[in-house]
Structure 1
Amino acid sequence: MEKNMSDILELYREQGVSEALLKDIAAFREKYPVEAAVSERVMRPEIRFYGKEIFEMAATALLQGENILLSGTKATGKNVLAENLAWAFGRPVYNISFNINTDSASLIGTDTFRNNEVCLRRGPVYDCAVYGGFGIFDEINMAKNDAVSVLHAALDYRRMIDVPGYERIVLHDAARFIGTMNYGYAGTKELNEALVSRFMVIDMPPMKEETLLDILTDIFPDAKREGLLQLAGFFMDLQLKASHNEISTKPLDLRGLIGAIRTIRAGLSPAAALRMGMVNKSFDVFERDMIEDILETRIPEGWESSEVFEGVRKI
C-alpha cells in the first residue's frame, strides 16, 4: 500500500500539484488506515486524471471535510476524477448509480431475516459511513425524493444518519461523498437548493486534445503516436459538434474510444472499431451519417490496425 501511495502521489507531482497538498494527502492516508475487511475496495483507477487545478480544488475541499459535486457535460472526466481522488486518498470506494428504482432502502439498507431474527442488511451508504469510504453518487440529479432524504442526512454537517428502528450511524472521520451529474440527460432534474448547499461544486471543463492524448498514451504505451493523434482527433471533432448541438452526446464516449482501441490492438480495422465503440451509439440515421462523414475525414477506410500498433495481425 505504501508503494502504491508513493506511485499515485508521484503522478500528481509530475503535473505540478502543490507539494504541501500532496504531503497533506499522505498524512491523511497515514492517519486513517483502511480496515482489512474493505481493503479490496481500494482500487487503482484504469484511467489517470489529468488536470492540476481541478485536482487541487477537489483534494483541498476533501481534506477540509467537505463533500464535492462534479458537474459538466458528458466525457469531461467526472467519474475518472472521483476514482482518482479515492485512490490518492487511499479510501475504499462505494459506487452508487442513481436511477428511478434507487430508494432509501437501497442506500442505507433493508430488513432481512437472519439466524431467526430480523436484522439490517446494510446498504452502500451505511458501509461507506462506517468504514470511512469515499461514496461516489453517480448521476445524482436522477435521485428521487425518497433517496434525496438519505443524501441530506449523509451530507449534513452533523455527520450522523438516523436509521429508523436501528442505531444512529456516526460517520467515520474519513468518510466523504462525491456526486457527479451530467447536464440534460433524460430523467434528470434540477437539484434542490438544500442538497446543493451540502456540496462544494466543481464545473468540469471539456476534454482537451493533449489531455486525451496523455490518457490514451498511458493506457496504450505501445501505440503509435500518429495513430493515437488521429483517434483522439476524431473524438475531439465529435466533442466540437456536440458542443454546437449539431449532434447528440451519445457517440461522445471515452469508454467507447478506449474499447475501440483495444479491438484495434487485437487486429480489427480502426474504422470498424470506432463504429462499434462510438458511431453506432447514435441510433438516429441522419446523425449517424454525419458522424460517418467525420470518421471518413479522420480515418481513411484503408487504414489497418498496423497504422496504430506495430506487428498486429489483421483480422
Structure 2
Amino acid sequence: MTKWTDFLKEEGISQEIIKDIELFNETHRSKDVYKSRIPDPKYLYYGKDTWEKALCSILAGENILLAGPKATGKNVLAQNLAAVFERPIWDVSFHINVDASWLIGTDTYDGEKVVFRQGPILKCALNGGFGVLDEINMARNEALAVLHSVLDFRRVLDVPGYERTSLDDATRFIATMNYGYAGTRDLNEALCSRFAVIDMPVISDDDLKRLIMREFPDIRKDICDQFTYLYKEIEKKAESAQITERALDLRGLLDAISLMRKGIKSGPAISMCIVNKTFDSYERKLVQDVVDARIPADLDRKVIFA
C-alpha cells in the first residue's frame, strides 16, 4: 500500500495540510464492515497545485467537481483522495437509466417481507463515504434533483416514507465531468454552485515520466522519454483537431507498456492499445505516423527494460 504521507511530501504538499489530513483521519474512523471499500489505487495522481486545491476543499467540507478533457486523471484523483482520507468509496456512473430510486433506494420484497434497499447515495451519506459521481453531466434532471439537499449546506436526504437522514460529517461527493462527450450537457447553475470546481490540467511532461517510471521501475530512461514524447505529440494533434481524442489514451499507453513487459513487441502493443482505438482509416494513419517517428516497431522487452 502507498505511504500517502511520504507521497504527499514528495508532491510538495505543506506539512500543515498533511497534519490536517491526519487529524481528519483520526477523528473520522471508517466502520470495519466498509474498510474493503477504501481504495488502494493502482495509479497515483501527479500535480501539486491540483492536489492542494482538492485536499483543502475536502478539509473545508466542500464537495468538488473535477472538470476537464479526456486523460486528465479525474477518476485517478478521486480514488487517490478517498485513499488519502481513508474513506470508503461508492461509485455512481451516470447514464440514462439512473433515477432517484436507484440513487437513494427503494422498497423491495426479500421473499418474506417488504424491505428498503439502500441506494449508493444513501449508503455513502450514512457511512461517511466519498461518493464519486462519474460523468455527472450525463445524468437526468430527476436524478440530479435528488442531490441538491445532499450537496448544499443542509446536508440531508429525505427518503419518501422514511425518516429524514443527515449526512455523516465525513461524507463528501466528488463529481467528474468530461467536455464534449456524446450525451453530455452543461450543468445547471443550481447544481454547479454546490461544488468547488477544479479545472483539471493535462499531465505535464515531467509528471508523465514520473508516472511511467513509478509503474515500470525497470524501464530504461531513454525509452521512457520516447513514450512521453509520443503521448505529448498525440496530445498536440488532438488539441489542434488534426485527430480526435480517441488515440489520446493514457491508460492505453500504460497498457501498451505492460504488454511489452509480457513479451509483445512495441509495434503490435502500441497498435492494440492506442492506434487501433481510432476507427477512421485516415486518422489511424496519422497516429501511426507519429508512432513510427518515435518508437521502432520491433523493440522487445530486453531493449525496453533494464
Distance, in Å, in 2 between the alignment partners of 1:166 and 1:283 is 50
Distance, in Å, in 2 between the alignment partners of 1:305 and 1:241 is 28
Distance, in Å, in 2 between the alignment partners of 1:114 and 1:166 is 18
Partner of 2:301: 305
Superposed structure 1 runs of 4+ greater than 3 Å apart = none
What secondary structure does 1:250 align onto? helix
Alignment partner of 2:109 out of 113, 122, 143: 113
Alignment partner of 1:37 out of 33, 39, 44: 33
TM score, norm. by length of structure 1 = 0.94
Partner of 2:89: 93
Deviates more, 1:143-152 or 1:196-205: 143-152
Is 1:193 aligned to residue 195 of structure 2?
no
Give how far 1:277 is off.
Answer: 0.9
Distance, in Å, in 1 between the alignment partners of 2:155 and 2:39 is 25
Distance, in Å, in 2 between the alignment partners of 1:225 and 1:196 is 43
Alignment partner of 1:251 out of 226, 247, 250: 247
Is 1:61 aligned to residue 76 of structure 2?
no
Give how far 1:211 is off.
Answer: 0.7
Distance, in Å, in 2 between the alignment partners of 1:109 and 1:286 is 48
Task: Count how many residue pairs are aligned between Structure 1 and Structure 2.
Answer: 306
Distance, in Å, in 1 between the alignment partners of 2:294 and 2:95 is 36
Deviations 1:234-285 (A, max 9, x none): 1111111111111111111111111111110001011111111111111111
Alignment partner of 2:268 out of 243, 253, 272: 272
Distance, in Å, in 1 between the alignment partners of 2:95 and 2:267 is 34
Partner of 2:160: 164
What amino acid does structure 1 have at the position aligned with 2:125?
A
Q: Is the 8 A contact 2:268 2:297 kept in 1?
A: no
Aligned pairs for 1:20-31 (under 5 A) are 20-31=16-27
Alignment partner of 2:70 out of 70, 74, 97: 74
* Structure 2 alignment gaps of length 5 or more: none
Give how far 1:230 is off.
Answer: 1.3
RMSD: 1.2
Partner of 1:174: 170
Give how far 1:115 is off.
Answer: 5.5
TM score, norm. by length of structure 2 = 0.97
Partner of 2:80: 84
What amino acid does structure 2 have at the position aligned with 1:64?
A
Is 1:218 aligned to residue 205 of structure 2?
no
Deviations 1:20-39 (A, max 9, x none): 00000000000000101100
What secondary structure does 1:37 align onto? helix
Q: Is the 8 A contact 2:103 2:143 kept in 1?
A: yes
Partner of 1:184: 180
Distance, in Å, in 2 between the alignment partners of 1:249 and 1:109 is 36
Distance, in Å, in 1 between the alignment partners of 2:76 and 2:131 is 14
Distance, in Å, in 1 between the alignment partners of 2:248 and 2:84 is 27
Alignment partner of 1:141 out of 133, 137, 142: 137
Give how far 1:306 is off.
Answer: 2.2
Give how far 1:298 is off.
Answer: 0.8
Deviations 1:162-212 (A, max 9, x none): 011222221000000001111000000010000000000010111111111
What amino acid does structure 1 have at the position aligned with 2:87?
R
Give how far 1:307 is off.
Answer: 2.3
Distance, in Å, in 1 between the alignment partners of 2:277 and 2:106 is 37
What secondary structure does 2:245 align onto? coil
Partner of 1:233: 229
* Structure 1 alignment gaps of length 5 or more: 311-315
Partner of 1:313: none
Percent identity of paired positions between Structure 1 and Structure 2: 46
Distance, in Å, in 1 between the alignment partners of 2:165 and 2:22 is 27
Deviations 1:33-89 (A, max 9, x none): 010110001111111111111111111111111000011111111111111111111
Distance, in Å, in 1 between the alignment partners of 2:213 and 2:137 is 33
Partner of 1:123: 119
Q: Is the 8 A contact 2:266 2:298 kept in 1?
A: no
Give how far 1:161 is off.
Answer: 0.6
What amino acid does structure 1 have at the position aligned with 2:268?
A
